[in-house]
Amino acid sequence: MPAIISYMEASTLLNPYRPGAGCLPPYLAGRDREIENFAKLLDQHIVIKNCILTGLRGVGKTVLLDKFKNVAINKGWLWTSNEISESFSINEERLCYRIMTDLSMVTSGIIIEKDEEKKIGFTSEKSITEVFLNFKLIGFLYKNAAGLESDKLKYILEYAWSHIKKSMPQVRGLIFAYDEAQSLSDDPKKQTYALTMFLDVFQSIQRKQIPFMLLLSGLPTIQTKLVEARTYSERMFTILFLHKLSAEDSKLAITKPIEQDNCPIHFSEKSIKLIIKRSGGYPYFIQFLCKEIFDIFLQQKSAGQKLMVPIDSIIIKLDDEFFAGRWGFLTDRQRELLSVIAHLKHGEDEFTVQEIVTESKKYQISTFGNSQVNQMLSSLITDGLIFKNRFGKYSFAVPQLNEFILRQHIAIEND
């Protein structure tokens, strides 16, 4: 029987695990290689390579962005960041204002002009008028610049760098970091090309040896979108693909937080292996499972009970909090399609349109044709549930979505 701790002691113990979206875990496991590769990009004297940070949902992209920020600042770079939404792709001007707003976050303290004037009267005191490179001035310069939206934005970026360099000569450059960057796109039907303009502007700026670097984080669909907009984008970016953690790194993510806090709760080897297996090595799932098990162990220990992991109940809670919302927005036909994919032999890895069509014939549903599957997959890509790789094959963009779908089928059969 485990040692009993008082309810008072239990109530004061903080759960170290943080499964919230973008929350920095108490121990960042298994990302040393990506941090090292990003640090190498920061050593470029002339920026010829930007960075794409990509991977499935729940793999820790947003968390790693925060780590990258610290690395960049320590190496002498300025940093500005934001989360992209589809509204910024409505037109080129909207995206320009997004970039200028982010730029002003690091330039607003820069004085570009200082005038001294004698005050009216018989005093010799002087008043000082200072003009700052803030959003108001940047917006004014943009509106009065000549040319297309891209020309205006290039002018603003060049103008800003000339004053950054003068005001902060020690600064090596400026990083524009954008999360959820897969939301950027062109829309030929509406004749808006925000993504194309975005790439053209930064390529032009970098050719002039202005050290403004792009760091784009998002789902794997971002790579396809960039290449479709500008084929040269492949040469502009270094891609850092975040994979799930190895068993060794998963174990560190599980055990380090409670080791550091000298916590009375410890996970047995059996519990650790169970968490690794059910999380699949995905950082968000590790944090979620550990948080729930920590709280349960704390209650069991307070009551002097044997420590047991009610894994099935925890997985149901995970389904409700992580998967159910995405599943609830789908149409019945989309659910049927995803169910067919989940039943494929290698559905958790990658699949083709033809495999889906063939598999659908095994079930008591209206079978899918190639054209219909293509259209539906395109819609699911937009919804962030599927992504297409460069070889024309598809994968789930949400980790373990196939397992969730299979669990839904089991639950229906048991009702």
Residue 401 sits in a domain whose CATH number is 1.10.10.10
The answer to whether residues 227 and 344 belong to one domain is no
Alpha-carbon distance of 191 to 194, in angstroms, equals 10
* pTM attached to this predicted model: 0.87
Say if residue 207 is in the same domain as residue 335: no
Per-residue model confidence (pLDDT) at position 7 = 44
Specify the DSSP element, H or E, that contains 154: helix 149-167
- Give me the pLDDT at residue 195, please: 94
pLDDT less than 70: residues of the chain: 1-12, 114-128, 260-262, 390, 410-415
Pair 230, 259 in one domain = no
The pLDDT value given to residue 21: 77
* 252 in Cβ contact with 29 (< 8 Å): yes
Backbone angles phi, psi at 310, to 5 degrees: -80, 70
CB of 51 closer than 8 Å to CB of 215: yes
Type of residue numbered 244: K
* pLDDT at residue 383, rounded to an integer: 87
Residue 122 resides in a domain: no
- Say how far apart CA 87 and CA 78 lie, in whole Å: 26
φ and ψ at residue 278, rounded to 5 degrees: -80, -20
- The reply to whether 205 and 266 lie within a common domain is no
Sequence-ordered list of residues with C-beta below 8 angstroms from that of 156, at least 6 positions apart, any chain: 100, 103, 138, 141, 142, 145
Q: How many domains does the chain have?
A: 3
Q: State whether 191 and 85 are in the same domain.
A: yes
Amino acid letter for position 393: K
pLDDT of residue 343: 93
| Residue 235 Cα distances to 49, 333, 351, angstroms | 7, 39, 28
173 Rama class: left (phi>0) / alpha (psi -120 to 50) / beta: left
Range(s) of the domain holding residue 389: 326-414
For residue 315, give the 3-state DSSP assignment.
Answer: helix
Same domain, 156 and 217: yes
If asked whether residues 219 and 305 sit together in one domain, one would say no
- List helix spans (H) across 124-238: 135-144, 149-167, 194-207, 221-229, 233-236
